[in-house]
A = this chain, B = another copy of it.
Amino acid sequence: MVQPAPLQFLPLPTSISPSFWHRLTSLKLHHLGLDDKSVPIKGCYSLGRTVHDKLTGDSVGISGSLELDEGSFDLDVGDGTSAPSPHRDHFVLRGVLRNYNTIEEFKRADKAKLLSDLGDQIWSAIRHPSPETTLADLNPFLMITFADLKKYRYCYWCAIPALVQKPGWEIVEGWRKCDEPALEQIDASVALLSADGVTAPLHAFATFWARTPPEERTLVFNDPSSHPTALGWSVRNALTFLAHSPSPLDPPVHRLHIISRREGKTLSCVVRLPESVEEALTVRPAVVGWEKNDAGKLGPRMADLAPLMDPTRLADQAVDLNLQLMRWRILPSLDLDKIKKTRCLLLGAGTLGCYVARTLMAWGVRKMTLVDSSTVSFSNPVRQPLFEFEDSLEGGKPKAAAAAAALKRIYPGVDATGVSLSVPMPGHPIPPSSLESVRADVIKLDQLFEEHDVVYLLMDSRESRWLPTVMGAAKEKLVINVALGFDTFLAMRHGLPPSSDAPILAPSPGSPFRGKLGCYYCNDVVAPQDSLTDRTLDQMCTVTRPGIAAIASATAVELMVS
């Protein structure tokens, strides 16, 4: 007599869509933070298929895989049985995801224990079945990950654990092509079938088969395998369940007719357990199931999404990421969205203007308008970090427009505009011939104030700050004022009354001054006047220690952000 062939099972490979990683990124960034607890997920597989290769005339089998995508985090399917799968012939498994915070933690994770724990869970479901035990309960999967959000690289490893019955099932008869039984009305991925076409769910096997002759006990299952002589992985624990779950059946389920439902070509076979099998194991069998990687070895895989992504979008996300990361541990209360939406008006696009714009951009501010009336001079680029030598040629480009263009070159996602405009100053009489253009400038300035939330005063004289200070107070805008000395600087925040429009600062409503802070001119007894005309070269704004502007600008932006 020929030795019966052992029944074999085809592992269920996983197939992870990029959208799964995008959802994980978002979850990690905005919700999980440093939390590495298990997150419930789900995956689904479809039937194995056999397709006809038109070229060779051969039949080619295509096995199903466990697919994870953006929907894998949406567990609205509840316990996985009551609600129908989203698609017919798509069968859901439930799992957990553990995302480690560092690649070292990922590497150090005790994979044997992780698998063993799941084995215990499956064994428990077998030995202490609930009245609703399903195939999904017997096939919980596991995914461990390390997500390098900076590089869009995801290290991961999946396991679909299976208990190893020893001795295992043997094929008694098979394989035969058979007609598909009429199972359209049930969605469960495994069902019991009686000779007269009646079906029952897996967990009801003891009562359902109580009066069925042992040779007519039939299991139908939706098989992801397309292999001609192997069953899909997901039925393996179901067979162990039938053999070892406590039941009054006599004889126990040691022989079974299996119908492997596949797309286009359903197979059947008869399997049995050898006589020697113990009826009730007291020790959990060994468990296997870690997936092999592309090299055919037991080990993690890497998903690299960066090459798939649009560079502008990548930059957008990368910029946000550095800011969002602050919220994980150090500054959970940081309202980055508020900062991002703050519209900033920068009066002056010189050393201060350039540094403030850079710092605002690094903080995530997207809307900036720079105002300046002068052009880039030869000495500017080495000190004003938005200009290059090229900008100073042929008389120099207008500073405001050149600065806005540079901001866009640095980060295409910024909405930066440059406006060439002179702010009228006390002590500087307006010649009658310029009256019209000054009037137009004031109207434009007024409009710019209306269109922005925060106004930065980054000019090079005291008197030029006067009109914007008054306008800021009148229009109740947050005004940040920065001025440089030679090795000193001032960075101050002007007052803003409590208002729902206040983008950042909301002073205490109980303040007797309605939350108003002072302004640059509050403590001054000297009216602003012309300080520009009659000064020596070394009294000009450019004569400062080169590092002061960077320090003052960063400090000023802190006044807005914090």
Interface residues of A (CB under 8 A from B): 33-34, 101-105, 148-151, 311-312, 314-315, 317-319, 321-322, 325-326, 328-330, 355, 358-359, 361-363, 377-379, 381-383, 385, 387-390, 392-393, 409-412, 486, 533-538, 540, 542-543, 545-548, 550-551, 553-555, 557-558, 561
A311-B378, A389-B412 known; A149 vs B537 contact (CB < 8 Å): yes
Residue of B nearest to A548 (CB): B554
**CB pairs A–B below 8 angstroms (7 shown):** A103-B533, A150-B540, A325-B538, A329-B538, A330-B543, A547-B557, A550-B550
Docked CA distance A50–B148 (Å):
86
Q: Are B546 and A379 in touch, CB under 8 angstroms?
A: no
Docked-complex contact A543 and B326, CB < 8 angstroms: yes
Closest B residue to A549 using CB positions: B554
Closest-CB distance, A118 to chain B (whole angstroms): 26
Q: Count chain B CB atoms within 10 A of each CB in A393, A551, A553 and give the residue with the most.
A: A551
Please, which residue of chain B has its CB at the minimum distance from the CB of A354?
Answer: B385
Query: Across the interface, which residues of B come within 8 angstroms of A103, CB to CB?
Result: 533-534
Within the complex, what minimum Cβ distance (angstroms) separates A30 from chain B? 13
B359 with A547: CB separation less than 8 A? yes
CB of A140, distance to nearest CB on chain B (Å): 27
Partner of A411, one of B381, B537, B555: B381
Known: A383-B362, A409-B388. A322 touches B543 (CB 8 A): yes
A536-B101, A536-B102, A550-B355 known; A410+B392 contact, CB < 8 A: no
Contact of A378 among B315, B363, B385 (CB under 8 A): B315
Residues of chain B within 8 A (CB-CB) of A387 are 410
The 7 closest A-B pairs by CB, nearest first: A547-B554, A362-B546, A318-B379, A104-B534, A318-B378, A101-B536, A325-B538
Bound CA–CA A151/B409 (angstroms): 29
Partner of A389, one of B358, B410, B555: B410
Contacts A322-B543, A545-B558, A547-B557: A328 and B538 contacting too (C-beta < 8 A)?
A: yes
Min CB gap A312→B, angstroms: 8
Q: Which residues of B contact A311 (CB under 8 A)?
A: 378, 389, 392-393
**A562 shortest CB reach to chain B, Å:** 9
Name the CB-closest residue of B to A411: B382
Known: A377-B318, A379-B318, A410-B387. A533 touches B326 (CB 8 A): no
